[in-house]
Amino acid sequence: MKLLKLSCRCICVLFTLTLLTNNLSAQKHLDIGLAHNWNLLDRDIEISVEQFYGKIGFKAGLNIFQHTAQESLTWERAYASNLGQRLGFHAAFLYRLPLRNSDVELSPFFKVTSFYLSQKQQIGENNAVLYPAFLRPSTSLGVQGKARLSGRLMLFGSVEAGAMWDFGKVQSNFPRQKGVGLYGLATGGAVGLAWRLKK
């Protein structure tokens, strides 16, 4: 939890500093977006708000977790056992690369995504164990691209790679180590549409 709070505070501090040092009248825009996201754990539907001031941007929103991993006789994966566990959030800091006279926007980003999920383990045909829920954040670096389709409507996509973190405090027979630790490395991406409210 402390690592997640520290990451969010760092993003907020960086965003505030850039607002003080950038020309706020240059290339402002505010977008709302809806995307299908291949996150580092599984997949989700992402609803986001993105604000840019010049080259610097901040993005935040809601994620709705989906179960799409292929089940087999032996598997283990993150699992949302109720509606509350399906809801997560994300926050990102973006820097837009200068592409002059173009309807395409390209922005590298640092992103924090977090869910509060259970862990489900299947061993054999009739033996399944659902472990208690715990915080499952991930941090990633990636690149987002946007292309104007018509007027204010934008098509966007992103690719990312990063680390999944384990904040579990569960029984000793849990397959992961207790406490905070690195759960694994993974890649992800998203594709969706955005509507530009201000430009």
Q: How confident is the model at residue 57 (pLDDT cuts 50, 70, 90)?
A: very high
DSSP state of 170: -
Contact by Cβ (8 Å): 107, 57: yes
pLDDT band at 72 (very low <50, low <70, confident <90, very high): low
Do the Cβ atoms of 131 and 81 come closer than 8 Å? Answer: no
When pLDDT is averaged across residues 139-158 and rounded to a whole number, the result is 94
Quote the CA–CA distance of 150 and 158 in Å, as a whole number. Answer: 20
- State the pLDDT confidence band at 155, using cuts at 50, 70 and 90: very high
43-55 burial: b if 16+ Cβ within 10 Å, else e: bbebebebbbbbb
Spatial CB neighbours of 95, under 8 Å, sequence gap ≥ 6: 55, 56, 57, 107, 108, 109
Percent of the chain with pLDDT over 90: 37
Tens-digit pLDDT profile for residues 38-54: 877 788 999 999 999 88
CATH of the domain spanning 2-198: 2.40.160.20
Q: State the Cα–Cα distance between residues 118 and 135, nearest whole angstrom.
A: 9
Cβ atoms 133, 85 nearer than 8 A: yes
Domain extents for the chain? 2-198
Q: What is the mean pLDDT of residues 8-34?
A: 63
Contact 89, 113 (CB under 8 A): yes
Distance of alpha carbon 189 from the chain centroid: 9
Report d(CA 86, CA 30) in Å as an integer.
Answer: 27
